[in-house]
Chain A
Amino acid sequence: DAKTTQPTSMDCAEGRAANLPCNHSTISGNEYVYWYRQIHSQGPQYIIHGLKNNETNEMASLIITEDRKSSTLILPHATLRDTAVYYCIVRVAYSGAGSYQLTFGKGTKLSVIP
């Protein structure tokens, strides 16, 4: 079972920031938060991941709360090409701590509106 909770869908105006929330209240100390997205008919695309600190790359920013029980993925300037299903996943970080496969939930369907 997925260990995360995300809204089913969200809309965002083109050019505005898209803020996608995720709850992971049962996350353990050795689990990362990963974000992937899946554009229709394509394989999942890795976006970003983090353990405790906020992270930023060329695609997005990841804000993790201090208690690590929730996070927000931020797409700073959403474009129509960002329309996709966004998945928030918790995944074990260290050897021997558990299984390494990704468990995908239903994700958030983000629609970027012109």
Chain B
Amino acid sequence: GAGVSQSPSNKVTEKGKDVELRCDPISGHTALYWYRQSLGQGLEFLIYFQGNSAPDKSGLPSDRFSAERTGGSVSTLTIQRTQQEDSAVYLCAAGRTLQETQYFGPGTRLLVL
């Protein structure tokens, strides 16, 4: 595709439920990043993947958050036992390599009630 796509666009869930957010990066872009943006806040790094290397998970806020990338392409961010403070826009970005420009998707707006 022409750009990074994310699904769903919006997700409303109840506290305590698990959610999965999906990112489809630009074809051939081996670096993939997840960020989140809480209301009125800046973007916060969560995790990145580069090819088959071990991901950098240093930004994940708790062990309720995890991410995987299958086949070096699509990535899924999973939040277990969601809390209200998890409400945010979750953004995915992709780059040809880790060193090159990151291009962002439209984001998934998550609301935890």
Contact = CB atoms under 8 A, between A and B. Distances in A.
Nearest to A107: B42
B104 A100 contact: no
- The residue in A34, A46, A93 that gathers the most chain B C-beta atoms within 10 A of its C-beta is A46
A105 B59 contact: no
B106 A100 contact: no
A85 to B, nearest CB: 10
Contacts, number: 50
- The residue in A36, A44, A107 that gathers the most chain B C-beta atoms within 10 A of its C-beta is A44
Contacts of B45: 101-103
Contacts of B98: 95, 100
Interface residues of B, number: 22
Contact of B48 (A94, A101, A105, A107): A101
Given A43-B91, A43-B107, A100 B48 contact: yes
20 contacts: A42-B106, A43-B4, A43-B91, A43-B104, A43-B105, A43-B107, A44-B104, A46-B101, A46-B102, A46-B104, A95-B98, A95-B99, A99-B56, A100-B31, A100-B98, A101-B35, A101-B59, A102-B102, A103-B45, A107-B42
Interface of B: 4, 31, 33, 35, 42-43, 45, 48, 56, 58-59, 91, 93, 98-99, 101-107
